[in-house]
């Protein structure tokens, strides 16, 4: 099989699963929002697992804004837990951004770029306050 | 010098996919199916994968790094050190979601053949599979490491591939790019000569 055909077939297969995957991502983001509302103690592992799952799934799809936001949350959760400096507001701002990006069908744009830059700043601030 | 092939035939290959996220497993499966792989085996955990590879051989393993209980790193470490031959030599591509630098190094040091970071495209994954088909690295077994030779940089990019660095040279001998030195020149380089100090 020509390489180009193999790649095209694989991309087509991924495209067929886009809708179903977005629904699963929405379920995970909803779970993240519930955690942010309840703010249970010792949930850092659960947040990281959710963020990691979002990165895992969105990493197969052509949805760069969602992937970037999920990755930022993963990074922030990882670093906050390692530094013993957990902060729910930082998680919440990521959860809101993920919800907004999904509501916008994961489209990019200047506003989304600014939001992602804000998330990166928040993630950095979470570990290096001041 | 050999070039990257423009065709691939995976119709007779068996690929093991390991990921604890069912959706990710399905997405990976659709990619591999698109590549024309005849037989896919799917495992939702590394522990299941351990059990499976002890029963039957596979040609390639694609495994997610982050999994509960036994993660992808532990699996590859087990495969390289404790599995029987020839299973322990099975090529493994690790798929990394949260690709912190330390995690990439961890993947390299546990014995993975390649590490592919997300976002993952079918083109990149297929290229790594093709690279594995032309694999020339030695399998190293020393006290603190078992797996493919990690000194990839010494060998340069795979034959037919352009390197990312200007100084990258392929490990395969290609056509000469400059004239051979003649013997007089070589002798002049090596001959002891009096010098004025």
Residue B118 lies in a domain: yes
The mean predicted confidence, pLDDT, of chain B is: 83
- Number of domains making up chain B: 1
- Residues A59 and A53: their CA atoms lie apart, in Å, by 10
Inter-chain residue contact A3 with B126, CB threshold 8 Å = yes
The CATH number for B37's domain is: 3.40.50.2300
Q: How far is CA A8 from the centre of its chain?
A: 26
Asked if the structure places residue B58 within a domain, the reply is: yes
Residue B175 lies in a domain: no
CA distance B110 to B75: 9
Give the separation between CA A4 and CA A17, rounded to whole angstroms. 20
Interface of B with A in 82-101 (CB under 8 A): 97-98, 100
- Beta strand B39-43 with B60-64 is unpaired
Residue-number span of the structural domain to which B76 is assigned: 14-155
The reply to whether residue B98 touches residue A24, judged by beta carbons under 8 angstroms, is no
ipTM: 0.85
For B35, the token pair is 């590549």
- Is B119 in Cβ contact with A64 (below 8 Å)? yes
Q: Which residues in chain A come in under a pLDDT of 70?
A: 126-130
pLDDT digits (tens, 9 = 90+) for A50-85: 999 999 999 999 899 999 999 999 889 988 888 898
Domain assignment of residue B5, yes or no: no
Nearest CA in chain A to B5: A3
Q: Look at residue B70 and tell me if it is in a domain.
A: yes
Q: How much is the average pLDDT of B127-149?
A: 87
Which of chain A's residues have a Cβ under 8 Å away from the Cβ of B27?
14, 17, 21, 57, 60-61
Residues of B in contact with A74 (CB under 8 A): 97-98
Structural domain includes residue B52: yes
Interface test with A, best of B26, B100, B127 (most A CBs within 10 A): B26
pLDDT tens digits, one per residue of B70-111: 999 999 999 999 999 899 999 999 998 866 667 778 888 899
CB contact under 8 A, A13 and B30: yes
d(CA B190, CA B183): 11
Token readout for A62 is 């052509």
Every domain of chain A and the residues it spans: 19-127
């Amino acid at each position: 099989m020509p390489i180009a055909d193999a790649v095209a077939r694989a991309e087509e297969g991924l495209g067929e699963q886009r809708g179903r995957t977005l629904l699963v991502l929405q379920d995970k983001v909803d779970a993240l929002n519930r955690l942010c509302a309840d703010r249970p103690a010792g949930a850092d592992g659960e947040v990281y697992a959710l963020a990691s799952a979002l990165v895992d799934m969105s990493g197969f799809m052509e949805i760069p804004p969602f992937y970037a936001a999920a990755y930022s949350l993963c990074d922030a959760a990882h670093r906050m837990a390692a530094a013993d400096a957990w902060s729910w507001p930082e998680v919440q701002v990521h959860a809101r951004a993920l919800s907004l990006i999904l509501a916008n069908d994961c489209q990019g744009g200047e506003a989304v770029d600014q939001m992602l830059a804000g998330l990166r700043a928040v993630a950095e601030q979470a570990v290096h306050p001041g | 010098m050999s070039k990257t092939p423009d065709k691939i035939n995976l119709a007779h290959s068996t690929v093991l996919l390991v990921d604890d996220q069912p959706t990710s497993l399905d997405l990976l499966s659709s990619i591999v199916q698109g590549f024309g792989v005849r037989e896919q085996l799917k495992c939702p955990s590394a522990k299941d994968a351990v059990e499976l590879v002890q029963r039957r051989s596979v040609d390639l393993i694609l495994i997610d790094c982050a999994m509960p209980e036994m993660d992808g790193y532990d699996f590859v470490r087990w495969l390289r050190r404790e599995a029987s031959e020839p299973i322990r030599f099975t090529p493994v591509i690790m798929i990394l979601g949260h690709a912190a630098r330390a995690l990439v190094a961890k993947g390299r040091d546990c014995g993975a053949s390649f590490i592919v970071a997300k976002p993952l495209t079918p083109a990149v994954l297929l290229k790594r599979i093709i690279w594995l088909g032309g694999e020339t690295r030695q399998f190293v077994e020393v006290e603190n490491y078992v797996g493919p030779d990690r000194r990839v940089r010494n060998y340069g990019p795979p034959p037919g591939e352009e390197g990312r660095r200007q100084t990258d040279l392929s490990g395969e001998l290609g056509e000469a790019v400059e004239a051979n030195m003649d013997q007089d020149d070589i002798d002049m380089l090596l001959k002891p000569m009096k010098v004025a100090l």
